[in-house]
Amino acid sequence: MPFVLGLTLTVRVFALGTGDRAGKPAPTVLHVAVMQESPSLDLHKNSTLIARQIGAGQIWEKLVTLNGQSEVVPELAERFEISPDGKTLTFQLRRGVPFHDGSVMGAADVVASMNRWIDSYSPARELAGDSRFEEISGDVARIRFSSPAVTFPDMIAGSPQSAVITSAAACAAEDSRGFMSSYIGTGPFRLSEWKEGRYLRLEKFPAYLPYGTPGEPVDGWAGYKNPRVDEIYYHIVPQAATRLAGLLTGQFDVDYNVDNDDLPAIGGRNDIRSAVYQAGSLALIFNKQQGPCADLMFRQALNAVLDAEEIMRAVFGEQYALGSSYMEDTQLYWNSSAGEEHYNRSDPELARDLLKKSSYAGQTIRILTSVPGTTDRGVLALMAQLERIGVKARMEVVDWTTLLQYRNDPSRYDIYTSSFYSVPVPSLKLFFSPSFPGWSDDPLLARLLGDFNSAQSREEARERWEVLQGYSWEYLPVVNVGHFSQTHAWRDDVEGLTVFNGLYFWNAAIR
């Protein structure tokens, strides 16, 4: 789902290919309005949703990806194999795939990319342990694990920090923040300009080597990509009303983030199309390193008083669904009711009893939330609920980039809000990691996660996930408040869009 935001006037121009447009017809341009911007498009190290939805599958591709049934299928790999014991994963690479800088992908690039991703992404690092990818030949790469890792392909295909493939040289060239200093992918578009705070421009990569069968529709994120626009502008427009007005007047072809309050304005119009799907979950993340929320009994008291429906409606209007499952309806295989007895209790009496058993001494709870968006409305509802049991709270509202900085400092907050978007396997939920802000360092939680990761079959992993989710509702690394839907809207003359856990433009055209 494309979006971008920022407030500077810096312009970065990326000269990644050959050719100019002298004597050529004017390019076909798709204009997309998005509500926020990412600090980087380095998907190995950045889990910001907008970065992934602009870059994944469009600028970057992966060894494997997900089809419409969330099954793992080859992308830059021609095929892959898992050994019978589940400990060795081997990838035969597609040959002759060009990078945006003109070089050709080989196993050395895959090894550098995948090992950088493992080192940067805590769930992958925890599953892999000391294991890393190695080059077997120029077009074969392999990783061997010390224990079964049957869900590792799912992790590669759908992780929030994407396992994208870039050149070995690009992996080695980092800026002062540790992010890639250039974005060299294999996808059908390449980044050509980023005017921070205003727009990001992609242009069609003329040497792109597609895979799949021409003429067959894209299946999920997989299949034949044939972009029929020359450029895509992602305009950074934090204000929902401005995005909507631009869509209705034709200034923008796509409004990537339709606000709940604006849904009536697009309903029933013949010139506007839209798509709605369950996109992820709203969570309250507890600071378990210090402060009141480090006390399990206090976390349980807060969870007992919560009215999830009141909070979800305040944030998402009617675009939500209640449910204790950590996984969305798009991942039915992993959907679980374990621990549901602890969900949405809205029981002040129980909460007061638990609070008395905790170490809470009347201090004010600090709740950190972000703009743009409406999560502050949900925090206000939460604060009113806490007042019913005598817990004082105050809210601090910052922009998303600042929240990403603040959440790393345990002295700044007790709870912060975040949306976690749909992932194909439960271990990709970042809040299970002891290094993720919130710091879930419980030994039993870690053991149950390890048991899940070392399952020898998906069936066994499914059984172990039931145990892990059930315990999570007791330990409360987060409170999974509920599931939200997302709406994208576009003008009727735009066609060929892909709607699958986001909105993608690799086959887009304008009639």
Identify the band that residue 157 occupies on the pLDDT scale cut at 50, 70 and 90.
Answer: very high
> Which phi-psi region, left, alpha or beta, contains residue 331 (left: φ > 0; alpha: ψ -120 to 50)?
beta
Distance CA 31, CA 4 (A): 12
DSSP-assigned letter for residue 180: B
| Sign of the torsion angle spanned by Cα atoms 152, 190, 422, 4 | positive
- Asked if 60 contacts 506 with a C-beta cutoff of 8 angstroms, the reply is no
3-state SS class at 461? helix
C-alpha torsion sign, points 387, 389, 392, 393 = negative
Position 22 confidence tier, pLDDT thresholds 50, 70, 90: low
Which of 486, 493, 499 shows the shortest CA–CA distance to 271?
493
Query: The pTM is what?
Result: 0.81
- Give pLDDT tens digits for 304-355: 999 999 999 999 998 899 999 999 987 888 999 999 999 999 999 999 999 9
pLDDT grade for 8, boundaries at 50, 70 and 90: very low
Structure tokens at 506: 């690799």
| 471's tokens | 């315990």
CATH code of the domain made up of 279-485: 3.10.105.10
Q: Where along the chain do its domains lie?
A: 11-238+492-510, 279-485
CATH assignment of 11-238+492-510, among 1.20.1440.230, 3.40.50.20, 3.40.190.10, 3.40.50.300:
3.40.190.10
Closest CA to 230 of 205, 252, 204, 207: 204
CA gap 486, 478 in Å, rounded? 22
pLDDT tens digits, one per residue of 443-490: 999 999 999 988 888 899 999 999 999 999 999 999 999 999 999 999
- Left (φ > 0), alpha (ψ -120 to 50) or beta: where does 275 sit? beta
Residue 47 has pLDDT above 90, yes or no: no
Length of the chain in terms of residues written: 511
Give the span between the Cα atoms of 6 and 37, in whole angstroms.
6
Tell me the backbone φ, ψ of residue 265, rounded to 5 degrees: -70, -25
Helices (H) and strands (E) in the chain, counts: 14, 22
According to DSSP, the β-strands at 254-255 and 29-34 are: parallel
| Calpha distance 324→88 (Å, rounded) | 35
Burial label for 138, CB within 10 Å (0-12, 13-18, 19+), is exposed
Q: How far apart are CA 246 and CA 272, in angstroms?
A: 12
- The beta strands (E) that lie in 57-111 are given as 64-66, 72-74, 77-82, 88-93
499 bridge partner residues: 503
Q: What is the pLDDT of residues 258-306, one digit of tens each?
A: 988 899 999 889 999 999 988 899 999 999 999 999 999 999 999 999 9
